[in-house]
Amino acid sequence: MATTDLFHIRTEEAPHMPAPISTTGVIGWMRQNLFSSISNTVLTIIGILIAYSLIEPLIQFALIDAVWTGQNREACLPQDGGHSGACWAYVKAYFPQFIYGRYPSEEVWRVDIVYALFLLLLVPLAIPNVPFKRLNAILFLIVFPVIAYFLLTGLVIGDLVVLPIVETAVWGGLLVTLVIAVTGIVASLPLGIALALGRRSKMPIIRTVSIVFIEFWRGVPLITVLFMSSVMLPLFLPEGVTFDKLLRVLIGVTLFSAAYMAEVVRGGLQAIPKGQYEGAMALGLRFWPMMYLIVLPQALKLVIPGIVNTFIGLFKDTTLVLIVGMFDLLGQIQSSFTDPTWSTPSTGHTGYLFAAMVFWCFCFGMSRYSIFMENKLHTGHKR
């Protein structure tokens, strides 16, 4: 009887206590991630100070002090001695030039159609679940360039002017940036595949030629390639044969990016297990059917992220053409600074900020896409 008092059996569950407030919610998260130790707290405070000192002037410049509307430089001049903010009115006034260059304004619809077609074909190609990939790829890689070429440069059959000729000298802005980057990547793809296959070939001369070609173009800076294509290429051609300046740059850029593309494709080829080659050979396929039907479809799918990354690099490198006197987006912005109508202390900063935003949006978007594809393509090929 007395022993029963010595122990106690709980007959119902103890009430649930909430977790200590210091470990949950915002406070718990902050204690764990920001203030877990003295050194961590110091780092947090330094980090916040750095972030603030960078973001605050940027917001002040780009949003608070910014001038959104105006007809000329008067609107953007610093008011009564204060700091002047971004002059977005200037960007608005120059926007058509940044997008089309000096393309004649009555013909701009042609560029718009090219932009629209480009998007219309690229978006379904980029989304993995959309069907008709093969048809889409043929349209994008073969049909679209032809249409775009005639739309942009013009079409004259005999005496009949279907589309008036527009010299490439008046192209500029985003148009030139995209034309160079897209043509460079599309044209370098077949060349890059050929070089990658050549580098893995068992035939010594073909292998040597491929290696020398790839290592040569990868070893020299793009700027010397551009100088070469704009200064030396005319010397290589017979008398009387002249190339358009844009075409010369395109040839240089294509050869340059083909070398990088070859290395990307080679990575993909190396990732394909040997059994695939052997299986194809056991089925009696010759070299090209084996490559075309078995190896390349798998390898190219694997290297889509690599191709996108090469494209990002090329897209950024396109700005270099301004050094050989062409007007890509950055070149167009740079040249607009000389216009006295919009010459203010903040014009330069605004122009660079705009260029940075455009390039950043393109490149960041593409790099996200490349990461997305990389995760999507993790299909167990990697060893």
Partner 1 sequence: MSVMEQDSAGAPARASLMNDPKARGIFYQLVLVVAVVALGYFIVSNTITNLERQNIASGWSFLENTAGFGTNQSLVPYSETSSYGRALYVGFLNTLLVAAIGVFFATLIGFIVGIARLSNNWVINRLAYCYVELVRNIPLLLQIFFWYFAVLRSIPGKREKWSIFDTFHLNIGGLRLPKPVWEIGSEWMGYALILGIIASFFVTRWARKRQEDTGQQFPVFWSGVGLIVGVPVITYFVTGMPMTLEHPNFVESGPILRQGFELNVGINVIPEFLALTAALSIYTASFIAEIVRAGIQAVSHGQTEAAHALGLRNGPTLRLVIIPQAMRVIIPPLTSQYLNLTKNSSLAVAIAYPDLVSMGGTVLNQTGQAIEIIGIWMAVYLSLSLITSAFMNWYNQRMALVER
CA distance 64 to 73: 18
Q: Looking at 24, 36, 335, 341, which residue binds partner 1 (CB under 8 A)?
A: 36
Residues within window 202-221 making contact with partner 1, judged by CB under 8 A: 202-206, 209, 216, 218-221
Complex with partner 1: residue 299 or 333, whichever CB lies closer: 333
Determine the straight-line distance between the first and last CA of the chain, rounded to whole angstroms. 72
Least distance (Å) between residue 83 CB and partner 1: 11
Complex with partner 1: residue 44 or 298, whichever CB lies closer: 44
Record the tokens describing residue 361, joined without a space. 């949006």
* Residue 371 within binding range of partner 1, rule CB under 8 A: no
Least distance (Å) between residue 276 CB and partner 1: 20
**136 DSSP assignment:** H
Largest separation between any pair of C-alpha atoms in the chain = 121
CA distance 257 to 23: 53
- Look at residues 62, 81, 61, 77 and name the one whose alpha carbon lies nearest to residue 341: 77
Interface with partner 1 by CB under 8 A: which range of 120-128, 153-161, 186-194, 230-238?
230-238
Residues 195, 262: contact at Cβ < 8 Å? yes
Complex with partner 1: residue 86 or 148, whichever CB lies closer: 86
Interface with partner 1 by CB under 8 A: which range of 48-56, 133-141, 164-172, 265-273?
48-56
Record the tokens describing residue 298, joined without a space. 């798998």
Per rule CB under 8 A, count of chain residues that contact partner 1: 54
Record the tokens describing residue 359, joined without a space. 């390039």
- Look at residues 235, 122, 107 and name the one whose alpha carbon lies nearest to residue 178: 122
Distances 303 to 5, 54, 128, 230 between C-alpha atoms, Å: 75, 37, 14, 32
Complex with partner 1: residue 124 or 348, whichever CB lies closer: 348
Residue numbers of the site for partner 1 (CB under 8 A)?
33-34, 36, 40, 43-44, 47-48, 50-51, 202-206, 209, 216, 218-224, 227-228, 231-232, 234-239, 312, 316-320, 322-323, 330, 334, 348-349, 352, 355-356, 359-360, 363-364, 367
